[in-house]
Amino acid sequence: MLTKGEKKEKILRVVEALKKIYPEALCSLNYEGDGYKLLVMGRLSAQCTDERVNIVCKDLFKKYPSAKSLADAKLEDIEVIIKPCGLYKMKAKNIKEEARKLHYEYNGIVPNTMDKLLEFEGVGRKIANLLLGDLYGLPAVVADTHCMRICGRLGMYKEGQKDPLKTEIIMSELLPPNEQSDFCHRMVLFGREFCTAKSPKCDTCPIKSICKDEITVKKLSKSYNSVALDLVWQVFSEFEVPVFPKEGATEYKRIIEETREKNNIIFYGAFDKKRLVGVLGMRENNHIGYFYVDSAYHKRGIGKRLFNLMRGDYEKKTFTVNAAPYGIPIYTRLGFLPTDTQQNVNGVIFTPMKYEE
């Protein structure tokens, strides 16, 4: 079971990966930026595919292009058009009433609060969140079937959990507010293409390495200090040989050991099951100076994950990196820094979030 911090870190990696797979996080309902249309389509989409809603609504909005025209329409006429969406009697009544309220009470402008949206007939939290996120760019988790299923499989909560409210609450705490709406749109695309309800395509899944990843990252307790330092030293000794003569390197290690207590060095580690496969050490004043990544894990984004964990703990956007002659090549090679990082006389300031793997 992942800790909350690990879940946040994992879902952030999924967010970033999905952005690359689906750069455009478009809503699958073609509402053409019109709040009235999204309100109606949201209601029609219950127990119906978005594809069918899109087809049906072409005729519906051709005949009733505004909330007023739908509000004033005959119920029987609406029923005939929306019949293919199923539950047509109830849905026709709901959308006519929605249109009435929208036009006569809100002057055609969809309100931007959850409470007010829930007063519309047939609007539940899922549709209300869709409206808040899409129309107003507000933080909103749309806990639909795809989101519920996939987030469970990703280990954000017990797999198979089917309570939309629970999903919404859990995911709104784990996802960055500004990513929530787009993430949910991408979940729909991803759920249809890869993480299908029956027989998910795990073999070809582009986020398989994240989903199945058993690596955890966390702040190390002091009992790991000497293990962490030994691993860090493997890197130092490998890279420093050209810089320091052998005795110089040994002396340098001795100094680190002597001063780590004084400097309050905190280590962050990545574990593969029980083995420590990555280490990042930070001294007070956000000075990063100690690092190690097992060579088999170089390409797995451990450096970025450790930085993100550290960033979360310290809520700092910038860290100072030792810019000794060997510092930058090591950091870039281990994936801790972007390859185009510039070095200057006094050190390097970088923002971990800005670099790409």
Amino acid at 348: V
Q: How far apart are CA 354 and CA 357, in angstroms?
A: 10
If the CB atoms of residues 4 and 212 are measured against ligand SF4, the closer one turns out to be 212
Number of residues lying near ligand SF4 (CB under 6 A): 11
What binding mask, one character per residue, do residues 124-163 give for ligand SF4 by CB under 6 A, x or -?
-----------------------------x----------
If the CB atoms of residues 203 and 315 are measured against ligand SF4, the closer one turns out to be 203
Shortest distance (Å) from residue 144 CB to ligand SF4: 16
Shortest distance (Å) from residue 213 CB to ligand SF4: 10
**Residue 217 makes contact with ligand SF4 by CB under 6 A:** no
**Residue 207 makes contact with ligand SF4 by CB under 6 A:** yes
Q: How far apart are CA 356 and CA 98, in angstroms?
A: 45
Shortest distance (Å) from residue 162 CB to ligand SF4: 16
In DSSP terms, 283 is beta-bridged to: 287
**Residue 213 makes contact with ligand SF4 by CB under 6 A:** no
Joined together, the tokens standing for residue 154 give: 């990703």
Joined together, the tokens standing for residue 89 give: 């009697």
160-187 in b/e form (b: 16+ CB < 10 A) is eeeebeebbebbeebbeeebbbbbbbbb
Contact 37/57 with Cβ under 8 angstroms?
A: yes
Q: How far apart are CA 110 and CA 135, in angstroms?
A: 8
**Residue 222 makes contact with ligand SF4 by CB under 6 A:** no
**Residue 200 makes contact with ligand SF4 by CB under 6 A:** yes
**Of 12, 184, 195, 348, which lies in the binding site for ligand SF4, with binding defined by CB under 6 A?**
195
Contact 291/235 with Cβ under 8 angstroms?
A: yes
**Of 83, 208, 219, 311, which lies in the binding site for ligand SF4, with binding defined by CB under 6 A?**
208
Q: Where does this chain touch ligand SF4 (CB under 6 A) — which range of 38-46, 69-77, 166-174, 195-203?
A: 195-203
Q: Where does this chain touch ligand SF4 (CB under 6 A) — which range of 58-66, 70-78, 204-212, 242-250?
A: 204-212
If the CB atoms of residues 17 and 78 are measured against ligand SF4, the closer one turns out to be 17
Tell which residue, 42, 64, 66, 65, has the closest CA to residue 54: 42
Helix (H) or strand (E) holding 130: helix 125-136
N residues, the chain:
357
Q: Which residues bind ligand SF4 (CB under 6 A)?
A: 153, 194-195, 200-202, 205, 207-208, 211-212
